[in-house]
Amino acid sequence: MQVSIQTTSGLERKLTVGIPAERVDNEVNARLQKASKTVRLDGFRPGKVPMKVMKQRFGAGVRQEVMQEVMNQSFSEAIAQEDLKPAGMPSIEPKNIEAGSDLEYVATFEIFPEIESKDYSSMAIEKPVAEVGDADISKMIETLREQQSSWEEVERAAAEGDQVNINFAGTKDGEAFDGGTADNSPLELGSNTMIPGFEDGIVGMKAGDEKVLSLSFPEDYHAEELKGAAVEFAVTVNSVAEKKLAELNDELFEKFGVKEGGEEKFREDVAENMKRELENATKAKVKNQVMDSLVASHDDLQIPQALIKQEITVLKQQMVQQFGGQAASLDVDSLLPDDMFTEQADRRVRLGLVLNDYISKEALTADPDKVKETIEGFASTYEDPEEVINYYYSNQQQLQEIQSMVLEDSVVEKLMEQATVTDKACSYEEVMAPAAPPEAAED
């Protein structure tokens, strides 16, 4: 087998491979010979079809099949011989496929980049430091009470935060429009689910009151015929209800897994969960800074376009899944052009390449004890922790995800040893608040 390699541009390579004719011809003859023992053709006894006839009837198809297999096999042999690491599938173009002559083809592909080792001592990391205080716990308990709240009908004027049940009929130039009419429709005042001015106009109304609201649809409204349109809504309030927070009683505590110990135990459990979430959020913010620094330190790294295209496909699939059953009817490429995902895909691929290179050079592995500790931490929040632990260890994909997570934590710990780390005093809410979106979406 003859192999020559050419660098066309950046990471792209062209591999010209020549295969002796005998390799293809011998395999074609062997397959035809084997097939002749079982093939049935009119005018010939089973197993007695002459090779000349076999070649006439099946030779071209078998040769095409063999050439494809030989090209695939020889490509693997050639890249091993030349010590190349392709990124993505090659584009193979046959150059000479004539029977009786050497097979020749050209394979075009990209290779993985060589990643330069960096000095990470200049990496600066701010580590948020916070505690869960009594006020934080009390606020969380109020949030939980609100999540379990109910609506209680009242005999007074509606105020922001109340829920009203209304009938409304919208008209534009005196004519009803699609979607502008409803009866017995619940609406929480202050939720901003209706167009500007609608909910404000209901504040102060009581059950049985009627009012006509003169409003305008926003200029950016999704329905073209209603953009900026002046309309009127005839509104009737059927009832007004105020939010009633859930009582701090055994019924509420049991909903959150506290069957004994009352309010004291409930508060302890809430505090423990908050501390665990605070620890995870702190780790996540530190990890994001480390990953951002890794990407920034390799911003000059050439990235194989084949990998970016693969990542764009993954990102599209993830977004399409959000459409549920409608996904099959969507024109994905039209609705989701590649440009929407290019920046995010570039970051994810770049970070993946750098991480894998660092893990390899530092010979890092996922510590089984830390994997076990992580799984047990997840399981502790469930009613039957042992069942959850067994699930992770019996599900290879789930276990690999935990191992990857632990491995990334090891990378962060290793890099933190080199970086300059500064503690930053924060409140619980500051640490728990989502980070502002970076220029490239988070991995």
Which residues make Cβ contacts (< 8 Å) with residue 159, sequence separation at least 6? 189, 203, 204, 242
Residue 37 has pLDDT above 60, yes or no: yes
Which residues make Cβ contacts (< 8 Å) with residue 249, sequence separation at least 6? none
Return the top range by mean pLDDT from 31-45, 225-239, 375-389: 225-239
Through-space distance between the first and last CA atoms of the chain, rounded to whole angstroms: 43
Q: Which of the following CATH numbers is that of domain 2-111: 3.30.70.1050, 3.40.50.150, 3.40.50.720, 3.40.50.261?
A: 3.30.70.1050
Contact 113, 304 (CB under 8 A): yes
Half-sphere exposure of 127 (CA within 13 A, CB side): 13
At 394, which helix (H) or strand (E)? helix 385-394
Q: Is-above-0.85 flag for pTM?
A: no
Domain edges within the chain? 2-111, 120-134+276-432, 150-244
Give which of 299, 405, 291 is closest to 358, Cα–Cα: 291
Average pLDDT of 313-323?
83
Contact 364, 411 (CB under 8 A): yes
Backbone angles phi, psi at 51, to 5 degrees: -60, -35
- What kind of fold does domain 120-134+276-432 have according to CATH? Trigger factor, domain 2 (1.10.3120)
At 328, which helix (H) or strand (E)? none
Q: Which of the following CATH numbers is that of domain 150-244: 3.30.365.10, 3.40.50.150, 3.10.50.40, 3.40.50.300?
A: 3.10.50.40
Summarised one tens digit per residue, pLDDT across range 186-200 is 999 999 999 999 999
Average pLDDT of 109-132?
93
Question: Alpha-carbon distance 331 to 392, whole Å?
Answer: 37
Residue 171 to residues 198, 220, 227, 238, 301, Cα–Cα distance (Å): 14, 19, 14, 20, 59
Contact 258, 269 (CB under 8 A): yes
Q: Can you state the angle between helices 262-297 and 134-147, rounded to 10 degrees?
A: 100
Contact 53, 71 (CB under 8 A): no
Rg (CA), the chain: 34
Summarised one tens digit per residue, pLDDT across range 389-401 is 999 999 999 999 9
190's tokens: 């202050």
Which pLDDT does position 101 carry in this prediction?
86
Average pLDDT of 409-420?
93
Task: Write the single-letter amino acid at 395.
Answer: N
Contact 412, 287 (CB under 8 A): yes
Give which of 106, 76, 80 is closest to 13, Cα–Cα: 106
Summarised one tens digit per residue, pLDDT across range 345-397 is 999 999 999 999 999 999 999 999 999 999 998 898 787 899 999 999 999 99
Instruction: List helix spans (H) across 298-395.
Output: 305-321, 332-335, 342-361, 368-379, 385-394
Summarised one tens digit per residue, pLDDT across range 98-110 is 887 889 999 999 9
Residue 9 has pLDDT above 90, yes or no: no
Instruction: Identify the bridge partners of residue 231 per DSSP, sorted by sequence position.
Output: 215
129's tokens: 């430091």
Q: What is the mean pLDDT of the chain?
A: 91
390's tokens: 């067994």
Residue 54 to residues 27, 160, 169, 286, 297, Cα–Cα distance (Å): 14, 86, 80, 69, 62
Summarised one tens digit per residue, pLDDT across range 268-308 is 999 999 999 999 999 999 999 999 999 999 999 999 999 99
Which pLDDT does position 439 carry in this prediction?
42
